[in-house]
Amino acid sequence: MSSLAEGFLQEVFDAYDLGGQVAGALRYGQGHINDTFCAYVQTPEGECRRFILQRMSSAAFKHPDQLMANIVGVTRHLRKKILAAGGDPARETLTVVPTAKGESFFTDSEGGAWRAYPFVENTICLQSAETPELFYASALAFGKFQAMLSDYPADTLYETIERFHDTENRYKNFERALAADALGRAASARPEIRFVQEHKTDCSVALEALRQGKLPLRVTHNDTKLNNVLMDKATLRGICVIDLDTVMPGLSINDFGDSIRFGANHSAEDERDLSKVNFDIQLYDIYTRGFLEGADGALTGAELEYLPWGAKLMTLECGIRFLTDYLEGDHYFHTQRDGQNLDRCRTQFKLVRDMEQQWDAMGAVIQKYAR
Ligand code: ADP
Ligand code: GN1
Ligand code: MG
């Protein structure tokens, strides 16, 4: 167990030159993985500048040096693309702030790895699709992100989390956690355990298509939740894709699918009242339109055909991961209350069931926008 990140903030302030005096830093955002802070800096001119400081999760990321090498490479590439398109890279991509020694991250006295980004001001970050237009805006941003990285040399990227969206392996991890039942929690999750077991063969669908060469490996984001894109406050356009920890070779259908999992409904990921958790095919329709528009013809016929599978599998896989973490004692996903990972798992499985009921309609929506 690592100590509370707060205890290392002074070391971090000392390691960076943020262009003024740091007034302090407060916990920020609703990510499940990293310890994120917003730092407030007063410049010599008396202005306030904000920075995001993050202690990268050591449970999730074993090699922060490789992780940061990926992010530096990818953000430089995005910067060039944005400049070439006449955009503003300071707002449209993350920029890594080097430490005073010129390094891409700082290691604290406990071995925890920290990084800094300028805070992208005048943006909003949503936890749910408040309006269809905002969901569409996020779809465009993620589709465009995919297109901008389509010529990024995939073989230079490290695999920051091994077998991240390997759903078959996620299933195996679940089986291991169930067999160990280290905290005796399996008894409280019988229906969910059965649900996973009934879906075992589904876990192979996308991987099998990849093995058969039907689906191509691309550079993908792999964590395309709505709260991983910042929207411009004034224009409400999705301008900056963040949380680049898992940019790796992957499947386009997973980037599509993870956005649907998180955004094509009107409830929180940990909602306890499952009657409020419903897959919204209208939002799915809107996202599909935006994503395909943003990807600008980059997807193959097979990728288009498998998009509904991306949605179902990312939702199933995420539910399996929440359940596994619940069985193992909540070591991976941050929790704020007991049983939260089981609640999260239940919402995911409710959404999977909804998608199964609307499977044909999901395919028809793709046909409507495919070109
Ligand atoms: P996690 O992996 O834990 O989700 P994120 O990198 O997504 O961590 O950051 C958590 C939250 O911090 C985001 O959802 C967003 O609200 C905020 N955030 C991160 N980077 C920036 C940034 N450069 N500017 C503004 N807000 C940011
Ligand atoms: C985590 O980092 P964050 O909070 O954006 C997780 C995703 C899950 C998601 C579920 C690196 O995303 O894979 O889908 O929680 N990220 C990592 O909300 O494991
Ligand atoms: Mg995030």
pLDDT(1) > 70: no
CA 51 to ligand 1 centroid distance, Å = 11
Give the residue whose CA is nearest to atom 15 of ligand 1: 29
Amino acid letter for position 15: A
Give the residue whose CA is nearest to atom 11 of ligand 1: 29
pLDDT in tens, 136-195: 999 999 999 999 999 999 999 999 999 999 999 999 999 999 999 999 999 999 999 999
Cβ(298)–Cβ(146) under 8 Å? yes
| 302 CB near ligand 1 (under 6 Å) | no
How far apart, in Å, do the first and last CA atoms of the chain sit? 50
CA 239 to ligand 1 centroid distance, Å = 14
| 35 CB near ligand 2 (under 6 Å) | no
H/E run at residue 211: helix 205-211
CA 43 to ligand 2 centroid distance, Å = 34
pLDDT in tens, 44-83: 999 999 999 999 999 999 999 999 999 999 999 999 999 9
Pocket test for ligand 2, best of 63, 223, 336 (most atoms within 8 A of CB): 223
Which pLDDT belongs to residue 3?
84
Torsion of CA 308, 60, 76, 216, to 10 degrees: -30
In SS3 terms, 249-318 reads as: EECHHHHHHHHHHHHCCCCCCCCCCHHHCCCCHHHHHHHHHHHHHHHCCCCCHHHHHHHHHHHHHHHHHH
Whole-number average pLDDT of the chain: 97
Give the residue whose CA is nearest to atom 6 of ligand 1: 243
CA 114 to ligand 1 centroid distance, Å = 14
H/E run at residue 210: helix 205-211
Q: At what angle do helices 132-148 and 281-295 cross, to 10 degrees?
A: 30
Whether pTM exceeds 0.85: yes
